[in-house]
Amino acid sequence: MTRALLLDRDGTLIVDVGYPRDPAQVEPLPGAIDALRALQSRFALVIVSNQSGLARGLISAAEAAAVHARVVERFGQAGVTFAGAYYCPHAPDAGCRCRKPAPGLLLDAARDLGLDLAASTMLGDKPSDLAAGRAAGCRTLAFGPATGAPHHCPDWPAVTAALRATE
């Protein structure tokens, strides 16, 4: 069983531009690459992202797939390898099992990758990320400007420190 760092994408790994449709919009957040390059020896890195722009008709399936692939490629070029990269394409009112705060993406990753969710951490910038993590039985870390979260990391160095503290 592998422990994972489950990662929200927009606003956590990359700049959140709102329904990104062009791979050229993919811009890693400051410190993310350096932190993950060090953390990947201790955690399987897995992206779990809501992409409702698809269901909203704002982006096509091909655009969503291209942007997601670019995220993996961009980090990969910098030496960061993701064990998995998942996204939910559904609308908020679709009642699917995978849109965060539902835990479906995390459960799929656990099934596919043999993750120990109880030993894993979900990191994200929205309450729905943390709720999905809790629903999957993970620890949670709030990233960036999220308010009211018990474990709040304002930036990537703080994420590294918080994960070290949970050893």
Q: Which residues bind Mg ion (CB under 5 A)?
A: 8, 10-11, 125
Write down the catalytic residue from 10, 34, 93, 125: 10
Beta carbon of residue 133, minimum distance to Mg ion (angstroms, whole number): 13
Catalytic annotation on 155?
Answer: no
Distance separating alpha carbons of residues 122 and 138, to the nearest angstrom: 6
Catalytic annotation on 34?
Answer: no
> Out of Mg ion, Zn ion, none, which partner does residue 98 contact, by CB within 5 to 8 A per kind?
Zn ion
Beta carbon of residue 111, minimum distance to Mg ion (angstroms, whole number): 23
Residue position matching structure tokens 């700049």: 15
Q: Do 46 and 13 meet the contact criterion of CB atoms below 8 Å apart? A: no
Buried b (16+ CB within 10 A) or exposed e, 58-82: ebeeebbbbbbebbbebbeeeebeb
Distance separating alpha carbons of residues 132 and 7, to the nearest angstrom: 11
> Out of Zn ion, Mg ion, none, which partner does residue 90 contact, by CB within 5 to 8 A per kind?
Zn ion
Task: Considering the complex, state which of residue 96 and residue 158 has its C-beta at the smaller distance from Zn ion.
Answer: 96
Indicate left, alpha or beta for 43 from its phi (over 0: left) and psi (-120 to 50: alpha): beta
Residues in touch with Zn ion (CB under 5 A): 88, 90, 96, 98-99
List the alpha helices (DSSP H) in 114-155. Answer: 127-135
> Out of Mg ion, Zn ion, none, which partner does residue 64 contact, by CB within 5 to 8 A per kind?
none
Task: Considering the complex, state which of residue 80 and residue 132 has its C-beta at the smaller distance from Mg ion.
Answer: 132
Q: Which of the residues are catalytic? A: 8, 10
